[in-house]
C-alpha cells in the first residue's frame, strides 16, 4: 500500500500515487513502491486562437468593410508573391497572414482557427500552437517561393506563377491540423485531414493549395519525429523515476 500525505491529498487526483501495488498500467511508472500517473496539463482556453481571430478581424476592418472585398491596393502593398519575396520584401510573409478576401474567407478563416489552433492549444499548449501557426504560414510561403523559381530555372511552369499574389493564414491552419493529427496518432483522423488537403489540389490547383500540402506535410513530419524522439506519448507522459 502507498501512504498519502496531507500534501498528496491536496494535489489533483491524476497526480496522486495509485493505491494499487499490483502492477502498473500503461503510462504509469514506479515511484517509491507505488505507481504514479501524470498527465500533461495544457491550456484549456484557446487564448492564441482568440487573439489571432481578433487580429484578423481587426486587419479586415482596417483594410476594408467587413461586408466588402479586399482592395487591390491592399493586396499589392501587403500580400505575398514569389516575385515580391525575390525582390527583397520578405516582411510580406508576415503581413499577408491576417488578410482576408471577403466575408466568406473571413468567416471560414476564423472558424478554422478556432478548431485547428484552439485544438492544438489544448493538446500542446499556447506556445506550440502559436509557433505552429506562424511557422506553418511562413514555411508555406517560403517553400512555394523556392519551388516557383526552381521550376522557372528548369523551364517548367507558367511565368505568371511568380506574380500570383496570395494571403491568409490557411497554410498555418493546415500545419496546426497536421500537428493535431500527429499528436492524436489516430489513423482515421490523419487520413481524413490529408484527404481534405488533397481535395483542394484536385478541385482548385491553386498555389495556395500547394502551400497547404507542403505545410501540412512538414508539420506532421516534425511533430511525429519530435514525439518519437521523446520516446513517449504526446498526451500521456510517464512519471520520472527518481531512482
Q: Which residues pair with 38 in a beta bridge?
A: 237
Q: What residues does 31 pair with on adjacent strands?
A: 34
Here the cell at position 213 is 500540402
CATH class name, domain 47-230: mainly alpha
pLDDT band at 19 (very low <50, low <70, confident <90, very high): very low
What per-residue confidence (pLDDT) applies to 17?
A: 39
Cα→Cα distances 66→114, 163, 180, 210, Å: 19, 27, 31, 28
Which secondary-structure segment (H or E) carries 63? helix 47-63
Dihedrals phi, psi of 38, to nearest 5 degrees = -120, 130
Domain parsing of the chain, residue ranges: 1-19+28-39, 47-230
Range 5-10 average pLDDT: 46
Whether 183 shows a pLDDT value over 70: the answer reads: yes
pLDDT tens for residues 188-212? 999 999 999 998 888 876 888 999 9
Instruction: Give the per-residue pLDDT at 111.
Output: 96
Amino acid at each position: 500500500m502507498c501512504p498519502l500525505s496531507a500534501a498528496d491529498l491536496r494535489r489533483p487526483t491524476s497526480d496522486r500515487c495509485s493505491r494499487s501495488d499490483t502492477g502498473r498500467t500503461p503510462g504509469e511508472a514506479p515511484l517509491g513502491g507505488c505507481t504514479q500517473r501524470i498527465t500533461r496539463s495544457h491550456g484549456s482556453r484557446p487564448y492564441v486562437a482568440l487573439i489571432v481571430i481578433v487580429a484578423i478581424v481587426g486587419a479586415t476592418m482596417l483594410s476594408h468593410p467587413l461586408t466588402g472585398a479586399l482592395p487591390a491596393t491592399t493586396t499589392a502593398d501587403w500580400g505575398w508573391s514569389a516575385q515580391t519575396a525575390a525582390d527583397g520584401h520578405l516582411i510580406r510573409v508576415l503581413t499577408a497572414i491576417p488578410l482576408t478576401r471577403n466575408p466568406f474567407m473571413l468567416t471560414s478563416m476564423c472558424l478554422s482557427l478556432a478548431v485547428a489552433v484552439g485544438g492544438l492549444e489544448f493538446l500542446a499548449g499556447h506556445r506550440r500552437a502559436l509557433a505552429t501557426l506562424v511557422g506553418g504560414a511562413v514555411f508555406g510561403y517560403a517553400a512555394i517561393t523556392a519551388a516557383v523559381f526552381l521550376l522557372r530555372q528548369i523551364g517548367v511552369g507558367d511565368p505568371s506563377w511568380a506574380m500570383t499574389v496570395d494571403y491568409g493564414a490557411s497554410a498555418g491552419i493546415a500545419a496546426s491540423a497536421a500537428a493535431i493529427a500527429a499528436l492524436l496518432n489516430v489513423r482515421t483522423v490523419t487520413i481524413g485531414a490529408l484527404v481534405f488537403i488533397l481535395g483542394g489540389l484536385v478541385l482548385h490547383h491553386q498555389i495556395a493549395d500547394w502551400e497547404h500540402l507542403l505545410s501540412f506535410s512538414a508539420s506532421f513530419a516534425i511533430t511525429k519525429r519530435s514525439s518519437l524522439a521523446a520516446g513517449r506519448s504526446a498526451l500521456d507522459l510517464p512519471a520520472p523515476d527518481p531512482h
